[in-house]
Amino acid sequence: MTQPVQDQGNPSRLPPAFLERDGTQRPADHYDAPQLTADHGPVQFHVMAKPVGAICNLDCTYCFYLHKERSPAGLGRGRMSEATLELFIRQYIEGVTGTEVTFTWQGGEPALRGLDFYRRAVALQKQYARPGQVIQNDLQTNGTLLDDEWCAFLKENRFLVGLSIDGPRAVHDQYRVTRRQQPTFDSVMQAVSRLRKFGVPFNTLTCVHRRNARQPIDIYRFLRDEVGSTYMQFTPVVEYRGFDQRSVSANRALLQPQESDPESRPGHVNSVVTEWSVDPEDWGYFLCRLFDRWVARDLGKIYVNQFETLVAQHLDLPSHLCVYSEHCGKGVAVEHDGSIYACDHFVYPEYKIGHLQESSLRQAVLSRDQVKFGYAKRESLPQVCHACPYLSDCWGECPKNRILSSASGEPGLNYLCRGLKQFYTHALPHVERIAAGLRNQPISQGRRM
């Protein structure tokens, strides 16, 4: 761990140098700034916790996390102990300066850790919360284990549930199957009924992949009318081939095809992505059709993550989604054994930034490695992004998806680029109009879109 060299003469000035572990000094630079200024301003970050690591009762074809249980570079099987849980909760609550702390429980399937674990978590949160601090809990689940006892607990403790559901039966069961390859649609719909019966608030999390991306309206209607979702999150499924063995940065050493190459599309024998990854043009199609429907009928009534964040950006507010932010690095993953990783999508050995037992969450988030990781989102953009009219909306999307080369041969172009451009070209005139309307709206009327 690097240490700031203290400036004893004037504590309000940033220390000019860092003392490295080996005793050498070097000038401080912008990667040190968050650590050097942390004591003088707010520190905000978000943690996704994995109480059972990658263990899941389902075997969804496209899951990007399941392999971590089995692969040599993975984390193996394991459950978060009560001691690690307490360390995590204390460090998270102590580490942030805001009045709100959101715990996101994810997996694998986090419900496999059992209700008693979460009862203990809630008790520890109450024990460590500072006066006035609001603690929130999100459970991201496949829903199949949520019985009445679970739902009563979730309601009583004000959990927000993120329920994975991909669309109507045939769409959902395409990839979301049990370990015996059996469909799961019915048990997820039972969870929907229970959540509604108990009044547990829930969002829907829908993966858009190669097989459902041409059905945006069917999926949207189903989620709105049959599931009763008013808060929809859509995520494009993109996995480069070999993601289960190595991180995307290790993959960069390999050839990156250009957008015009057939290998840049799913389904090709030498494709750069898995066969279930969404085709970039289909992602553009999905967003455009969905946007039209949302604007025509549901603007202000249904929250769709991809659209609300774009409107927010055009109101000069920060993006709600890390993928459309200029930098990343403020959302880390804590595994069952207490190891801390740069991001949920970068749980690979070279992206381990700390361990709850060895340092602290706050130190890990402010560490030079993590800040570099976050700044790289902007600093590694190819020239074609810098010249792009949609740069401030897109910011090159997620670095994990930057697996193509630009026409000039520069690596690091986002796989989804052509679909994103299609969407921005289509939606931005409407978004500008919506944003202009909201700017003129008195604050008292509320500004939810």
Beta bridge partners of 208: 236
Per CB under 6 A, the segment of 53-61, 282-290, 387-395, 432-440 that binds ligand SF4 is: 387-395
Question: What is the bridge-based pairing of β-strands 3-4 and 160-164?
Answer: unpaired
Nearer to ligand SF4, 304 or 385 (CB): 385
Single out the residue of 80, 240, 397, 434 in contact with ligand SF4 (rule: CB under 6 A). Answer: 397
Nearer to ligand SF4, 151 or 335 (CB): 335
Residue 47 near ligand SF4 by CB under 6 A: no
Nearer to ligand SF4, 59 or 410 (CB): 410
Residue 394 near ligand SF4 by CB under 6 A: yes
Single out the residue of 2, 320, 390, 428 in contact with ligand SF4 (rule: CB under 6 A). Answer: 390
**Residues tagged active-site:** 344
- Residue 20 in tokens: 């490295």
- Residue 288 in tokens: 């455009």
Q: The tokens 């043009």 sit on which residue? A: 281
User: For the chain, how big is the Rg over CA atoms in Å?
Assistant: 22
The answer to whether 215 and 178 have CB atoms below 8 angstroms apart is no
Rounded Cα–Cα distance for residues 327 and 399 (Å): 10
The answer to whether 18 and 4 have CB atoms below 8 angstroms apart is yes
Question: In the bound complex, what is the minimum distance in angstroms from residue 179's beta carbon to ligand SF4?
Answer: 27
**Burial (CB count within 10 angstroms: exposed 0-12, middle 13-18, buried 19+), residue 396:** buried
Residue 248 near ligand SF4 by CB under 6 A: no
**Burial (CB count within 10 angstroms: exposed 0-12, middle 13-18, buried 19+), residue 126:** exposed
Binding mask 303-342 for ligand SF4 (x = CB under 6 A): -------------------xx----x--x-----------
Binding mask 364-383 for ligand SF4 (x = CB under 6 A): -------------x------
The answer to whether 403 and 240 have CB atoms below 8 angstroms apart is yes
The answer to whether 182 and 250 have CB atoms below 8 angstroms apart is no
Nearer to ligand SF4, 221 or 426 (CB): 426
Nearer to ligand SF4, 421 or 430 (CB): 421
In 357-449 the beta strands, taken as DSSP E runs, fall at: 404-405, 411-413
Question: In the bound complex, what is the minimum distance in angstroms from residue 385's beta carbon to ligand SF4?
Answer: 3
Question: In the bound complex, what is the minimum distance in angstroms from residue 1's beta carbon to ligand SF4?
Answer: 22
Residue nearest to ligand SF4 (CB): 328
- Residue 144 in tokens: 């199949």
CB neighbour burial string for 222-255, b if at least 16 within 10 angstroms, e if fewer: bbbeebebbbbbbbbbbbbbebbebbbbebbeee
Per CB under 6 A, the segment of 31-39, 61-69, 101-109, 394-402 that binds ligand SF4 is: 394-402
Binding mask 417-446 for ligand SF4 (x = CB under 6 A): x--xx-------------------------
C-alpha distances in angstroms, 333 versus 240, 266, 280, 341?
21, 29, 27, 5
Residue 391 near ligand SF4 by CB under 6 A: yes
Nearer to ligand SF4, 200 or 384 (CB): 384
Question: In the bound complex, what is the minimum distance in angstroms from residue 290's beta carbon to ligand SF4?
Answer: 18
Single out the residue of 168, 216, 266, 396 in contact with ligand SF4 (rule: CB under 6 A). Answer: 396
Nearer to ligand SF4, 336 or 402 (CB): 402
- Residue 286 in tokens: 């999905």
Question: In the bound complex, what is the minimum distance in angstroms from residue 332's beta carbon to ligand SF4?
Answer: 9
Rounded Cα–Cα distance for residues 427 and 324 (Å): 15
Per CB under 6 A, the segment of 15-23, 60-68, 179-187, 398-406 that binds ligand SF4 is: 398-406
Beta bridge partners of 89: none
Rounded Cα–Cα distance for residues 269 and 275 (Å): 9
Nearer to ligand SF4, 157 or 305 (CB): 305
Per CB under 6 A, the segment of 18-26, 190-198, 218-226, 384-392 that binds ligand SF4 is: 384-392
The number of helices, as runs of H, and strands, as runs of E, in the chain is 15, 15
- Interaction site with ligand SF4 (CB under 6 A): 322-323, 328, 331, 343, 345, 377, 384-385, 388, 390-391, 394, 396-400, 414, 417, 420-421
